[in-house]
Amino acid sequence: MALLKVENLSKSFSGLKAVSNLDLEIMEGELVGLIGPNGAGKTTVFNLLTGVYVPTEGTISFKGKRIDGSPLYKVSHLGIARTFQNIRLFGDLPVIDNVKIAYHQHVSYNTLSGILRLPNYYRGEAEIYQKAYDLLKIFDLHEKEDELAKNLPYGQQRRLEIARALATKPSLLLLDEPAAGMNPQETQNLMELIRWIREEFALTILLIEHDMSLVMGVCERIYVLDYGMVIAHGNPDEIKSNPRVIEAYLGEEAG
């Protein structure tokens, strides 16, 4: 059974179709890419999948359950986590707190224990801290745990967003342009990191990316979006040689 199944998904904004009749299927453990020129509707798809937008038409099923129309936090509880194209960290908070907050849905004590500082508060906090710290270590951010997130360099902010998303313990991770603004070396490292976390956390990953080398290098399957529609889909080699894809991208360059 597919982990994520999207059927006939459409979204219009005041009459303008941003996504139309999208069909998408992702199997458990896959690493899938979603590419397309600027304004093709890629981020809109993410926003639909995570519940930021309610679809105009169509259905989204995750683990066999309908999730279209569910609020964001419920989608997160079901196991979909994401990063944002325009980084949305908790900028005025320390790096470690960014991760701790994402761990909140798994917290082991309740509000009252927190206020009364019962023993399980201390146990819970110690556990949250340890888990958050371990995650930061994976992303090589542990030495910056007390720094404010907004003061991190760009590349580290992107990595922190991934670490934060992982703290929600997702089974599907959506990465929105994780390599944006990174240099080739950083991108290379990121590719390895993405492969590694997929194994380590038994994840399924869907990623949006502009950097073709990254997409072609890590993704097993690719969907190409243009004007809100899937114009091609297949493995990297098929996509590379697809005339419609070439046209869509050349068209963008020319325009």
Give the binding site for another protein (CB under 8 A).
43, 47, 50, 52, 71-73, 76-77, 81-82, 84, 86, 88-93, 96-97, 100-105, 107, 109-111, 114-117, 121-126, 128-130, 133, 145, 164-165, 167-168
Nearer to another protein, 48 or 197 (CB): 48
Nearer to another protein, 109 or 223 (CB): 109
Minimum CB separation from another protein for residue 100, in Å?
6
Minimum CB separation from another protein for residue 32, in Å?
20
Minimum CB separation from another protein for residue 92, in Å?
6
DSSP string of 208-255?
E-S-HHHHHHH-SEEEEEETTEEEEEE-HHHHHT-HHHHHHHHHHHH-
Nearer to another protein, 109 or 139 (CB): 109
| 77-79-84 Cα angle (round to 5) | 95
Minimum CB separation from another protein for residue 49, in Å?
11
Taking residue 185's Cβ as centre, other Cβ atoms within 10 Å add up to 9
Sequence-distant (6+) residues with CB within 8 A of 38 are 252
Nearer to another protein, 26 or 87 (CB): 87
* Type of residue numbered 122: Y
> Considering only CA atoms, which of 248, 209, 212 is closest in space to residue 228?
248
> Considering only CA atoms, which of 103, 86, 85, 73 is closest in space to residue 163?
103
Minimum CB separation from another protein for residue 172, in Å?
13
Minimum CB separation from another protein for residue 77, in Å?
5
Sequence-distant (6+) residues with CB within 8 A of 78 are 62, 63, 65, 67, 70
Q: Which residues pair with 31 in a beta bridge?
A: 205
Nearer to another protein, 116 or 254 (CB): 116
Nearer to another protein, 72 or 246 (CB): 72
